[in-house]
Amino acid sequence: MPSSPPEIEKPDITRDDTQAAVSQAKWSDLYKQEDWWAVWIGLLLLGTVFSGLVQVVPKMPKWEGVDLLSALPLEFIPQLALLAIGLGIMFTLGNVVMKGQKGLDIAPGFVVIFLLAIFAYMLGNSQTAKAINLGYAFWALLIGLAISNTIGTPRWLLNAARTEYYIKTGLVILGAEILFSRIVEFGPYGLAIAWLVTPTVILFMYFFGTRILKMKQKTLVMVVATATSVCGVSAAIAAAAACRAKKYELTLAVGMTLIFTVIMMVVMPLFVKAVGMPELISGAWLGGTIDATGAVVAAGETVGELAGKSAALVKMIQNMLIGVIAFAIAASWVMFVDRQPGAPRPGFGELWIRLPKFILGFVAASLLASFVFIPLMGMDTVRDFLSQTKNYRGWLFCMAFLSIGLESNFRELGSQFQGGKPMILYIVGQSFNLIITLLVAWLALSGTFFPVPQL
């Protein structure tokens, strides 16, 4: 592992030559930047399903006992091979266009990462793992960490450990699942819970981290705050790209988020059942505080059907803030945080350069699904298609979690904890998030002040 973790990929540009870079911007940016390739691949994968070209995206089955054939049925192998080949060609092609012949170095490691993703899914889909809510994300991260912190991740495998590449593409696909009809269905209740609380928690954590804890790495504070308040890994990636956080800062935030997500998705359902909290309120509370969408759904369904619906809707509405938050972070970093004293206020050009472009793909996918596909095909058909594109997203996220583990070394990670301040920031911020989300959920859904919505 390198002694100094590399920074997240970004345009090779400084503040002083921003305007020159903007004036020299070419259409080649559309095929030479990772963000744009995430957009093209994500939209292409959506297109394969919505066009009918791909009717089934393989999904690993649930299994029990010790029968490995039930964990990986033989008839699944050809489907998985085709999926691996298709994804491998897309990501390798994008890498080659971006980096030239050197981009081929992703291919050997990609095959191994996909095989490890199959193994992670097998572990996560066992009856025992499902019973304790340890899904594929946990096992993928654990497998990657085990390799990185024992034998070490070899360079040829590290070349394919492209966390941002995979998860940005998955986020574009996620956009299609965020239908505007969901907002209408849950109305202002979900908006109040998701959109009022989230910015409040981010601002609170940023103030607490920079002013109270006096953490000098403002990018680390922002990534942790965004991961805590929005939706974990996805939001952390978007925030890190927007403020140009370093790779180890992203890894640290993601690591803490995943650890506490596992704890919260197990403990919180037990708590709400013990105190007899109404399902509608408890689901909204789970959806607004547990970071990962999959963990939210699993925790909500553990409480009950109504809680599951409430949790999923709040989390979906909250997920829509990813693009808005990323844009706001990019704008604030350009105009305030990174601005040199006495320097002129940066214009739209630098903001455009700093904006994570995959967010545009996320928004485009959402608009297409909501206002093109549903009117043309009907909700039921679109829902069937989304059940398949969600499988694409699952595989991409699984490979991203593996990549995080493969790139993470506990020895290097431990040196960045700054006396435990990042952990204090997360615990205090999440505690504040739990309290304020529960308060707003009760005010909105208890029936004391507003009519109770029907789901």
| 239 assigned to some structural domain | yes
Question: Residue 24 — very low, low, confident or very high, per pLDDT cuts 50/70/90?
Answer: very low
Is 147 within the bounds of a domain? yes
Q: How far is CA 428 from CA 45, 203, 234, 432, in A?
A: 39, 13, 21, 6
Say what angle helices 379-407 and 247-275 make with each other, to 10 degrees: 120
Cα–Cα dist 54/395, whole Å: 15
What is d(CA 199, CA 432) in angstroms, rounded to the nearest whole number? 12
Domain range holding 301? 29-445
Please write the tens of the pLDDT for every residue from 198-242: 899 999 999 999 999 998 888 999 999 998 988 777 788 878 888
The three-class DSSP label of residue 196 is: helix
Please report whether residue 16 resides in a domain.
no
Mapping DSSP to helix (H, G, I), strand (E, B) and coil, where does residue 7 land? strand
1 within a domain of the structure (yes/no) = no
pLDDT mean over 400-421: 72
**Does a structural domain hold residue 40?**
yes
**For the chain, how many structural domains are there in total?**
1
pLDDT tens profile 241-273? 888 888 778 878 887 887 787 788 778 988 998
Q: Is residue 5 part of a domain?
A: no
Distance CA 15, CA 418 (A): 29
pTM of the predicted protein model: 0.69
CA atoms within 13 A on the CB side of 28: 9
| Structure-block tokens of residue 263 | 């704890």
Any domain includes 454: no
Residue 364 placed within a domain: yes
Q: Which position has the token pair 């907002």?
A: 183
